[in-house]
Each structure stands twice: as structure tokens, then as C-alpha cells.
Amino acid sequence: MVQITSKIQTNSLSLPINKNDFVNDKELPLQSCIRLHKIFLLNENLIISKNTAVSSGFLTIVFKKFMKLIE
């Protein structure tokens, strides 16, 4: 899991999420970005609901950016 924030930053640690990155036309209410260096684990049983999801293509981009970060 990564941190998502509406405080947009333009650096190599942030990745903006665009409207076309979501599936089923369910986007976040505010323009947001992922903070690639803020990763944490979460027990699946603690998740109450799911509001939206990103496309598999966007997940691939996140993974590649993360791998570049740890190299």
C-alpha cells in the first residue's frame, strides 16, 4: 500500500494520478498523487470498503517507478 495525497508535489518521489488511471470512471474527488517513498503494510481484514481502483497499466507504472527508486 502507498500513501495517496491531494497535496501535489512535483518531485521524483511523487506520481500524479490522472482521471484516465482509474477504472469504472470512479475517480478520487480531488486531484491526487502517490508518494512512492511512503509504503506500508496493511492487514486485509482492516479494510472496510473500496471506493475506487486504478488500472493495471497504472500499477505497472507505479511498480517501475518504485523499482527505479530502490536501485
Per-residue pLDDT tens digits for 22-68: 998 888 899 999 999 998 899 989 999 888 899 999 999 999 999 99
Q: Indicate if the pLDDT at residue 10 is higher than 90.
A: no
Asked whether 2 and 27 are in contact (CB, 8 A), the reply is: no
* Domain boundaries, given as residue ranges, for the chain: 2-70
What's the Cα-to-Cα distance from 23 to each of 3, 4, 36, 57, rounded to whole Å?
19, 17, 21, 11
pTM: 0.80
